[in-house]
Structure 1
């Protein structure tokens, strides 16, 4: 920390990343009652010099009793002294809420120093004198309340304002850190900041040339209607970049930190994307051996490989994994092809993309159809990683290591056939086996494998093949020390699974009915299961999958990565995500020669002592084979 004395008090300046020569500099200004710690989520992004400044009277800056030190123009002058003493020239300036008022004031007075201004949920000023008078009176009352009741009571009142209602969905740990920081502030200096740094004393920057002079990006949460409207007005009148993050509120950086960073990164590094072309290769792949479940038997699998091309000519790959018939879930390949063409592609055509996470927001008007969404969304993740010249592992922030993998086996004609197949896979190094089961081909099959392999990790997958009335049969599974039974009951059921889990010791894992983070929360809260099978296409893509993984990690919920008979495109994506620390069991990540006679990519993934490793090449790290299969244009 550096403490820098200025004409208007001393400021504490914190390098959130290790200082580097010749790196770009991002300066962050927090909101009312915050500190530099507001921006701690940026610490892991070390390509820039990131500086968080405790504003006057906040955090470790001076607790001045002089009211003039809190006037926005004086704070702006003080910041200029700070930047001169820190030898900062061109800066990227980020201001959140109250910090956004100061950021605008500074950029207005010192436009040549600011390369780009980022405003998060910040007012641009009041127009009418009556508005200003009412705001002054309101701030005076709040300041009196603060001094009279003290920080603890005031912060508890503040956090319950409608402005922060969306934060009730954030983890308790995050909120406690935020609330604790606010309660530790000084009530006298907070009152001075509230009164003298009020928006009532701020210029109406819409009536100035600020936004014509300094490139600006405005970020707001869709649930914060007031600031979303301010951002829209800025865009309409001043052509400011506007990014609305869906389903978050006033404090977008707290509720969606990864998405927020993506926006900063795209603008600072010039890595925004527009889509120029979308097409798909329609494959009909032959399985090495038939794959039988309680739904039926497959000998071939149709799969579409989507190629999404940016205006810069870079391509991202995604796989459409829905089946031809609606027996796994209601989506079908033909319906998804139609939906992508008529509903999804128009939602992203012509859009400026700042983040692959933005795709989920853009697709939100279309309900369900998660596999269709995933085909495009995962291709855009691949595209962003390639534009940034990173492997997808690096882009997400995962360490790519060899991981233990498992294999999923279809229903076999008899116990001996199953045993021979299991033995073959155990000899290949697979340490976790999942057996598909159905009525009549369950207990005796499991018993046979357990007798021969007493220590093998065995899971069974029922694919909704049982009913709650089969409880006596299902209870017998407890005799075989199974890691879990997957989706024994209805494909959309949560309630009956919760009843069954009370009656059996074998952990229940949910699969078909997990389409979103909200489904995971529901299952966890009513104890429908003890584990989750996460399939990227079934939850709409990587954005939702990553949020589910964080929830599982925070709540100690067992989770593992399931497979969908992917080609090499989907398999490569799965191998990358399988490095996430939230996973508690090996996933269905078989070697390339496990399923298809011929794959769609030039690379192959092989097993090494029961482990596999994802590619370290850019994006998902695969190249498509030249093919003469049918190609369909979507954009």
Structure 2
């Protein structure tokens, strides 16, 4: 990025989910996100602030809080700055006191702008080898809770025809072993994992011992985010690997989890940790300690998920990602082109400079709720 940031634009978008996004005790019909663009003399960088949908739990950041952070804290700090390395981006973002999703929106836009100026795809800037860049990213099917087992099985069957490389279902106390048994019975030995959303305690050990018999890829976030000791005690009793999701918020938490033996796998979410740089640091730390990774989603809209595809190209991301085609989650998208499967269950890693995706201006106007612009000549 040879020129300084001259303009930063925030656009609040609302796009309906294709079907309600179902989670433990809640569901959502619309996805709210903030498209973040940073403009320099060299071009436009795109990022997305997509706070985790409330239906999926851990919704500690609201879109209004993120909007205020971006407008009042991040934009004034970013305008007039230029970057020649990702380290310089990190040095600036480390000074921002803001919600992680807000930081992620601006930080990923800066990565895109820098990648374009360096004529390098983001995956290469993250450290993916040329061999890895030639590979594809596997996409896994994630489904939420449904009122009945029959509805769950129908939802899975509908999407499996697209070739997804594994199934992930949500569980909750009282709705766990029965669901896993039904999916195994109906779909056979397809790779299967469960997401517990931190709803259990070590008192539920007998339930997990039953789940341990189903040859699961992993059990995601069985305990509350701060109960690393409980996760460690549970992992010591199980063959099935435990995966940390909500607990994977910082390097310190991951270091402590590995010290305790609380996990064998970590889910990386760009929105949760504040951008590509922090997610890369967590990936590298896990790799050093023999802990595998994969890339989760909030789910983001197209630009947010596209950043995740680049991250998922890294060698230690060994499991299918929750990232998927736009049409899997939403009735429409503003990314151009739409994210699509390149082959059954496979996403391509863009080879074009930067993110490799653009925004569809007509779609942005269609789904825009509000917009604010900040330049070096005005404050918004």
Distance, in Å, in 2 between the alignment partners of 1:492 and 1:544 is: 20
1:314 aligns with 2:43: yes
Kept in 2: contact 1:273–1:354 (CA 8 A): no
- Aligned counterpart, 2:227: 493
Evaluate the alpha carbon distance shift between residue 508 and residue 324 of structure 1 in structure 2; reply closer, same or farther with a 3 A threshold.
closer
Give 1:350 deviation, angstroms: 2.9
Which residue does 1:450 correspond to in 2?
A: 184
1:596 is matched with which residue?
Answer: 330
RMSD across aligned C-alpha pairs, in angstroms?
2.0
- Whether 1:504 aligns to 2:243 is no
* Alpha-carbon displacement from aligned partner over 1:383-425 (angstroms, at most 9, x marks no partner): 0011122322344343142222112111112111211222233
Asked if structure 2 preserves the Cα contact closer than 8 Å seen for 1:400 and 1:576, the reply is no
Pair 1:612-2:328 in alignment? no
Greater mean deviation of Cα atoms: 364-373 or 497-506: 364-373
Structure 1 residues 504-535: Cα deviation after superposition (integer angstroms, max 9, x where no partner): 33221111121122222111111111110011
Asked if 2 retains the 8 angstrom alpha-carbon contact of 1:386 and 1:619, the reply is yes
What TM-score, normalized to structure 1? 0.55
Match of 1:415 in 2: 149
- Aligned with 1:319: secondary structure? strand
- Structure 2 counterparts to residues 227-376 of structure 1, below 5 A: 271-294=1-24, 296-310=26-40, 312-323=41-52, 327-367=57-97, 369-376=99-106
Shift of 1:462: 1.3
- The DSSP-based 3-state class of the residue aligned with 1:309 is strand
SS at 1:559 equivalent: strand
Give a deviation string over 1:43-88, Cα, whole Å, max 9, x none.
xxxxxxxxxxxxxxxxxxxxxxxxxxxxxxxxxxxxxxxxxxxxxx
Q: Is the 8 A contact 1:325 1:332 kept in 2?
A: no
SS of aligned partner of 1:298: strand
After superposition, the C-alpha distances for 1:483-523 in whole angstroms (9 at most, x for unaligned) are 11111111233222112222333221111121122222111
The CA deviation at 1:432 is 0.8
Match of 2:359 in 1: 624
The worse-fitting range, judged by mean Cα deviation, of 279-288 and 512-521 is 512-521
Q: 2:209 aligns with which of 463, 475, 480?
A: 475
Q: Which has the larger radius of gyration?
A: 1
Query: How do 1:56-205 residues align onto structure 2 when only pairs under 5 Å count?
Result: none
Matched position secondary structure for 1:428:
coil
Query: TM-score, normalized by length of structure 2?
Result: 0.90
Pick one of 284, 291, 315 that aligns with 1:581: 315
Deviations 1:162-206 (A, max 9, x none): xxxxxxxxxxxxxxxxxxxxxxxxxxxxxxxxxxxxxxxxxxxxx
Which residue of 1 is the match for residue 250 of structure 2?
516
| Pick aligned residue for 1:437 from 171, 174, 177 | 171
The one of the two structures with greater contact order (alpha-carbon pairs below 8 A, sep at least 6) is 2
Shift in Å, 1:273:
4.0
Matched residue, 1:534: 268
Do the aligned partners of 1:485 and 1:509 also contact (CA within 8 Å) in 2?
yes
Q: 1:442 deviation in Å? A: 1.6
> 2 CA distance for matches of 1:345 and 1:535?
23
SS at match of 2:152: helix
- Consecutive unaligned residues of structure 1, counting only runs of 5 or more, are 1-270
- Establish whether residue 382 from structure 1 lines up as the match of residue 117 from structure 2: no
Secondary structure of the 1:491 match is: coil
Partner SS state of residue 140, structure 2: strand
1:471 deviation in Å?
Answer: 2.1
Residues 515, 540 of structure 1: 8 Å contact kept = no
Quick check: 525-534 or 490-499, which moved more?
490-499
Cα separation, partners in 2 of 1:412 and 1:318, compared to 1, 3 Å: same
CA drift at 1:467: 2.5
